[in-house]
Amino acid sequence: MIDAVLVCLLPAQSHGLVTINHTASVGFYRDELQKAHIPIFYTFGYEGVHSTNLETSLSLIMSRDLAEPNWRVFPAHAYVIVPLNQGFENAWFRRSRLQLGRQVLAQGFDFAVLDGAQSRIYWSAKGSALVFAGQTKNMDLFETSSSPIIGAQLQQEVFGYLLSGGYSQRETLLDTKIIEGSILKALNVFWSAPQILVKSQWNTSQSQPSQVLEELTFNPFDDLTLSFSHSYRTPRPADNEWRTFLFRIFSQSPMETQQATVQLRYFEPLEIDGFVRQLRFRGGQESEIGVQQEVSASLPVFDKLVFTGYVGHMRGFGGFAHDYGLQSKYDLSDWTRLQIEAASVQYDKVNGMSSWAYNVRSGLNFQLTPNLTAFGWLEVERNHRFEFDGKVMAHLSYFQ
């Protein structure tokens, strides 16, 4: 598959500053049918700031398995930025601009590839308007489906509150109308410096919001961060269908999630992270509830040795699972690193499947030159399907 995108690279005499980079990787492995694969990945990047104040950017991703006949080419982005002013004296980076080509659209709950145009106009260092139009694609590299979109967003900071509101029309006939808004506030004048984020998205054809996110983050102490969030999410037509396939089958309502997260650095150099998450949706006549907890810790023993471990638990309408893992990284030299990982999980599913699964792998990373790296992995695993399964992987990467 090849995506066609119009790219204009300005002639050399108009270049003020140009950066070009390449990354090439090749590997080898055998699958469960003992078929050999040699995957090749190549990326090309170009960044140009020109004497005319235009900016150009291009990123191409190419891949191929030598067992297959064709290359796949994906332009991750390819755009031109036309500056409309020089910004403000106290905020030079707030420059009004027009951006044309393939680019990322990050607006409201949307994060997608946009083939089209975006223009952000600043009327002050604290206020701006964004207009956009074009075709959107999922972030999956080789997803072929696309959807038209057109919309606008206003953003203004008022008394320390960052307010944002937007409107867009999307889908095949631009007949889906979306309204969204958000409020962000950092209360630095209070103890623990809490930060509050509330944002929602409404489909005008529905009586309730289709997406909601509320989040509170604060630091009671310098080495302790706490975060609490609540979300209410509905799969949208633009969402990748295979990613939401099971949810669409079993759920008759949006999914509601509550989560609490803690980051503790009090016992330095030991770092501890943990979270508790609860998911709820209606399936049939009853509400289904899923719970997930995980605690992880990272401890540098010496300057060159780091241990990381975790313990997790999941329980839902499909069964339960307990998982455990340990990872160690050791720098054998300035150019060689040894990494060892071990993991196990105990699971019990509603279909009667109950077992343990194990995975152990070890590898060496080599920095052969400043631009050339290599690594090799040996992996073994055991589960309800394989008494023993082994993999060997080698990889060579060059970048410039």
| Rounded distance between C-alpha atoms, residue 42 and residue 106, angstroms | 26
49 forms beta bridges with 17, 55
- As to burial, measured by CB atoms within 10 angstroms (0-12 exposed, 13-18 middle, 19+ buried), residue 221 is exposed
CB 218 within 8 A of CB 224: no
What structural domains does the chain harbor?
A: 278-400 (2.40.160.40)
Three-state SS string over the chain comes to: CECCCCCCCCCHHHEEEEEEEEEEEEEEEECCCCCEECEEEEEEEEEEEECCCCEEEEEEEEEEECCCCCCEEEEEEEEEEEECCCCECCECCCCCEEEEEEEEEEECCEEEEEEEEEEEEEEECCEEEEEEEEEEECCCCCCCCCEEEEEEEEEEEECCEEEEEEEEEECCCCCEEEEEEEEEEECCCCCCCCEEEEEEEEECCCCCCCEEEEEEEEEEECCEEEEEEEEEECCCCCCCCCCCHHHHHHCCCCEEEEEEEEEECCCCCCEEEEEEEEEEEEECCEEEEEEEEEEEEEEEEECCEEEEEEEEEEEECCEEEEEEEEEEEEEEECCEEEEEEEEEEEEEECCCCEEEEEEEEEEEEEEEECCEEEEEEEEEEECCCCCCEEEEEEEEEEEC
Nearest alpha-carbon partner for 373 in 396, 348, 355: 396
Q: Are 382 and 19 in contact (CB under 8 A)?
A: no
pLDDT at 14: 46
Integer angstrom CA distances of residue 189 from 102, 126, 138, 156, 214: 41, 20, 40, 21, 21
What integer pLDDT is reported at residue 5 of this predicted model? Answer: 40
pLDDT tens, position by position, for the chain (400 residues)? 333 443 444 444 444 788 888 888 888 777 777 788 888 888 899 999 887 789 999 999 999 988 788 888 888 899 999 999 888 888 888 889 999 999 999 888 878 889 999 999 999 999 999 999 999 887 665 566 778 999 999 999 998 899 999 999 987 777 789 999 999 998 876 777 899 999 999 988 887 788 899 999 998 888 999 999 999 887 655 555 555 555 555 555 677 899 999 999 888 889 999 999 998 877 666 777 889 999 999 999 888 899 999 999 998 877 899 999 999 999 999 899 999 999 999 999 888 788 899 999 999 999 998 888 888 888 888 887 777 777 777 778 876 6
Provide CB contacts within 8 A for 374, sequence distance 6+: 365, 366, 368, 394, 395, 396, 397
Q: What CA–CA distance (Å, rounded) separates 224 from 202?
A: 35
Residue 348 CB neighbour total at 10 angstroms: 15
Q: How many CB atoms lie within 10 A of CB 78?
A: 22
**Closest by alpha carbon to 42, among 28, 71, 62?**
62
**Residue 83: per-residue pLDDT:** 92
160-194 burial code (b ≥16 CB/10 A, e <16): eeebbebebbbeeeeebebbbbbebbeeeeeeeeb
